[in-house]
Structure 1
Amino acid sequence: MTDPRPIIVWFRQDLRLADNPALHHAVESGRPLLPVYVLDDVTPGTWRAGGATRWWLHHSLTHLSAALERLGSPLLLLRGPGDAVIGDLAARVDAAEVVWNRCYEPFAIERDSRLKAALKGTVKVTSHKAALLNEPWEVLTGQGTPYKVFTPYWRACVAVTNPERPLPAPDRLSPCPNRPEGDALSDWALLPTRPDWAGGFRRTWAEGLGVGEAAATARLTQFLSEGAANYSAGRDVPGIDGTSRLSPHLHFGEISPRQVWHAAKRAGDRGSEAFKAQMDSFLREIGWREFCHSLLYHFPTLPERPLSPAFEAFPWTQDDKALAAWQRGQTGYPIVDAGMRQLWVTGWMHNRVRMIVGSLLVKHLLLPWQAGEDWFWDTLVDADLANNAAGWQWIGGCGADAAPYFRVFNPVLQGQKFDPDGRYVRHWVPELKHMPDKYIHAPWTAPPMVLRGAGVTLGRDYPAPIIDHALGRQRALDAFATIRGSTPAIPA
């Protein structure tokens, strides 16, 4: 007689049915299945989800719950410390097994280890790889150490990466007969109420590009058929839809990197050599995501402390007024302000612009990279701890594969190079929409007659630059000089 005890499938950052190894394992077991999601806002050391992440989570769980309901096994929603909640649930339903897909944040590793120890000898525990192409411990240097420079890391990945074919979604699920009562999603209050700042989120995602597994698949298909042919150049132009915009879908696991990899490889194999090169460029960005997760796994203090120890002594400033101007998109540098406003309205920012706005914050304004990291954590729908921390340390010059600290982006030149016709700035900074192309990225250099013709009075309609570029650059170099002698080289 088959053991009737259920198997618990603990959903985390894998909110999908297709290519979900934990779910596939549970279905193959033949046991009654209890899918569960736990909202953990209380475990010490956990990075509590920011406002934008919570908004996306609400909609993603809505889609996942409906999909599981259609297959016959509804999603159970519970709240509390993840390990304690799952441990209690396993006892309540007399579970035979608990299965999940692995997460790599330090607090998640500690939580999962506690749960494994608590269930040892009573409930079987199985975990799977689902969020990455390669485990962080699978790609190491010849000395067995983690890579700290991306290019050799990616070269090593390409040599060993041969992901299995994505798993199909199940066509039905066997429900757990003694399923307990859980929360209603509305009980979690993940959506904003007053003030309701999510109007732009709804227009961009819920009513536009879409949230959930079906939307992720559709977005990948659309990108490969429409935007991928010019990816290498288009990915740097914020005024066009030249990127995949898959980052939030990947973070929440609405699509797997394995699905993306195989779809891109198929598209490349069917296309010309030039198109195949575009696909290799695109998959390199998937590789950067893998690199960031490897860094976080091997250096768990990455979100809080600089990877380069010398930067512990860097003379950062504290300027709440300057930080607020940056957050609101009121720095006086149009490409920066456009990016910050895009972020606030949509919960997403073009990757090239993320580097530009970050450079202004940590170089010109000498504000700590953690201040930018915290703001992005709260405002990005794709706020991923590994990507966010590694990205900000790259910008700050203190992390792995970092741009040298003395490389200071000129926001005017960056705007002229990547938004030459001002399309991006005019969309997000509409007070400058009538400025000629010549002055759109430096309106303070326009003659008075041009400013009047564009309906712009500096200081009233649009601010003057928060700091002169040359002054900000020199100030950054002077600050760097105070620690330069003690800055160790970061090995590969």
Structure 2
Amino acid sequence: MHPMIHWFRRDLRLADNTALTAAAQASGGAVLAVYIFDEAILRGRFASPGRTAWLLANLQQLEADLRTRGIPLVVARGNPVEVLPTLVRAIGARGVYWNRDYTPYAVRRDAALKTMLREAGYEAESFKDAVIFEFHEVLTKEGRPYTVYTPYARRWRQILAEQSVRSLATPDLIPYVCPPELVTTSEVLPVTTGGSAMPTLAQFGMALPYPLPDAGEHAANTCLARFVSLHCDAPIAAYAEQRNLPGVAGTSRLSPYLRLGIISPRQLLTAALALRDHPDGSHALTGVEAWLGELIWRDFYVQVLYHHPYVLRGAFRQAYDALAWENDPAHFEAWQTGHTGYPIVDAAMRQLRQEGWMHNRARMIVASFLTKDLLIDWRWGEHHFMHWLLDGDPAANNGGWQWAAGTGTDAQPFFRIFNPVSQGQKFDPEGTYVRRYLPELRNVPHTFIHEPHRMASTDQIRADLQIGRDYPHPIVEHKAQRERALALYATVRKAQSEA
């Protein structure tokens, strides 16, 4: 019996796994599961101790889930283009199946692997799995990719309405067993197999920066069920209203699971549509539609990256690569550590360091502040986020940063600049979020929670807080920085119009 190798990547689950199911069906049930720590990613510019730890935790759970089906998980480290052909030859496999990824590096690597395996006479197939609709499925009437979200979303929803949701999902995973004699050994490759210990974070020269959520498919599905249910108090019912309130638990917190494919986007979509279409689901209609919009944004940024890979190095609107950023290192450090003197900004940056996650409204606020108040290159912020975020995704992170900086596709206009004080007052009116992550401000009255530097000395005494000692003065004055930012962008726009 010749097995098929399933190469796990960003699909660390058994349920609704397109390539895994196809491998089982093609091989009559003989599947060998493989994960490879790709050195180019492990040591790349977006390397992250937190995400590596999260990856290891979920691989351990995946290994246990596979073991219940009699499937060993082979774990290797190296270049997949070298490791996989070696493994295919060593065990006499038919070939390799995997689910597609869309970063420029992944596209190049996978194309090289597919060519190598096929030229050697082996099967090599890749599948759509990480998105609802791929880069070629949602196009304009002229057959071009969209660069504006709203018409893209309109077309995305139209295509969805034309298809059965069931047709988007893969069949239920069929039981199968890989015969033990097919498992490779350490003499064949520098690997561990199902019964051996998983690599540790320390072996990668990394340390855990923050506590991790519960790992594995069961945890992801529990999280989904808690968010999307028929109960009137389910978070999705109020999602449209509460998703912008960082002090409220109004979001799903599923993004770290989605990032590694511990749950599929189809599972999220199916759950949301089932609630929307349920006779008792009318209470959640606005929440479901808003949540679907976030899934569409995710697909949108993936197709932007695929069609315009240069965005990972520079502005989508390339004229903005000429922006003369100030890039003050001291200001950047204050932003990184949450010591800017603007409470909503500082709370968000400390949440990032404590949890490896940040509320989406807070992400927009801190990105606007870095680029348009501190006048620091958005790529500095992009890199910082990718280092810390459990859900750090090259496409979504890049798209979000370029939106905030006004340099990207469908970007926030350059002249729209968030006021960090009014943003805090609007979306965290009682300072719940600020007090949670800035305990030094816990006794500050609501009136001053977003601008504690305006308190009189008697107010500071009552709050047991001294500005400049216990919490910093604002490192910049927003009104003045806003004018400087407008001038910075105007210079580039003028040069562009004169070119």
CA distance in 2, matches of 1:134, 1:20: 15
- Does the alignment pair 1:19 with 2:16? yes
CA distance in 1, matches of 2:468, 2:143: 56
1:58-457 equivalences under 5 Å are 58-121=56-119, 122-161=121-160, 162=163, 163=165, 164=167, 165-175=169-179, 177-181=181-185, 182-183=191-192, 186-189=198-201, 196-198=208-210, 201-202=211-212, 205=213, 210-225=214-229, 226-270=234-278, 271-457=280-466
CA distance in 1, matches of 2:306, 2:136: 9
Correspondent of 2:482 among 473, 480, 483: 473
User: 1:5–1:96: 8 Å Cα contact kept in structure 2?
Assistant: yes
Secondary structure, counterpart of 1:155 in structure 2: helix
Give the 3 Å change call, closer, same or farther, for CA 57–487 of structure 1 in structure 2: farther
Structure 1 counterpart of 2:393, one-letter code: D
User: 1:16–1:253: 8 Å Cα contact kept in structure 2?
Assistant: yes
CA distance in 2, matches of 1:192, 1:88: 24
**TM norm structure 1:** 0.93
Taking only aligned residues, the RMSD between alpha carbons, in angstroms, comes to 1.8
TM superposition shift of 1:189: 2.5
Please name the residue that 2:188 is paired with. Answer: none
- The percentage of counterpart residues that share the same residue type is 41
Structure 2 counterpart of 1:259, one-letter code: Q
User: 2:103–2:309: 8 Å Cα contact kept in structure 1?
Assistant: yes
Please name the residue that 2:6 is paired with. Answer: 9
TM superposition shift of 1:320: 1.2
User: 2:147–2:410: 8 Å Cα contact kept in structure 1?
Assistant: yes
Give the 3 Å change call, closer, same or farther, for CA 28–252 of structure 1 in structure 2: same
CA distance in 2, matches of 1:472, 1:191: 45
Secondary structure, counterpart of 1:39 in structure 2: strand
User: 1:40–1:81: 8 Å Cα contact kept in structure 2?
Assistant: yes
CA distance in 1, matches of 2:474, 2:46: 34
Secondary structure, counterpart of 1:355 in structure 2: helix
CA distances 1:230-258 after superposition (whole Å, capped 9, x unpaired): 00011000011100111111110011111
CA distance in 2, matches of 1:31, 1:46: 36
Structure 1 counterpart of 2:311, one-letter code: L
Moved more, 262-271 or 187-196: 187-196
CA distance in 2, matches of 1:388, 1:175: 42
Secondary structure, counterpart of 1:71 in structure 2: coil
Give the 3 Å change call, closer, same or farther, for CA 23–195 of structure 1 in structure 2: closer
TM superposition shift of 1:195: 6.1
Secondary structure, counterpart of 1:239 in structure 2: coil
User: 1:410–1:469: 8 Å Cα contact kept in structure 2?
Assistant: yes
Structure 2 counterpart of 1:189, one-letter code: L
CA distance in 2, matches of 1:211, 1:9: 21
User: 1:348–1:380: 8 Å Cα contact kept in structure 2?
Assistant: yes
- Does the alignment pair 1:458 with 2:470? no
TM superposition shift of 1:487: 5.0
**TM norm structure 2:** 0.92
TM superposition shift of 1:187: 3.1
Give the 3 Å change call, closer, same or farther, for CA 406–138 of structure 1 in structure 2: same
CA distance in 2, matches of 1:114, 1:194: 30
CA distances 1:306-349 after superposition (whole Å, capped 9, x unpaired): 00011111001121111111110111100000000000000000
* Alignment gaps of 5+ in structure 1: none
User: 2:201–2:207: 8 Å Cα contact kept in structure 1?
Assistant: no
CA distance in 1, matches of 2:453, 2:178: 66
User: 2:305–2:395: 8 Å Cα contact kept in structure 1?
Assistant: yes
Secondary structure, counterpart of 1:301 in structure 2: helix
CA distance in 2, matches of 1:5, 1:176: 13
CA distance in 2, matches of 1:257, 1:385: 17
TM superposition shift of 1:175: 3.5
Moved more, 370-379 or 122-131: 122-131
Secondary structure, counterpart of 1:174 in structure 2: coil
Structure 2 counterpart of 1:102, one-letter code: R
Structure 1 counterpart of 2:20, one-letter code: L
Secondary structure, counterpart of 2:177 in structure 1: coil
| Number of residue pairs matched by the alignment | 477
Secondary structure, counterpart of 2:309 in structure 1: coil
Secondary structure, counterpart of 1:477 in structure 2: helix
Structure 1 counterpart of 2:267, one-letter code: Q
* Alignment gaps of 5+ in structure 2: 186-190
Secondary structure, counterpart of 1:125 in structure 2: strand
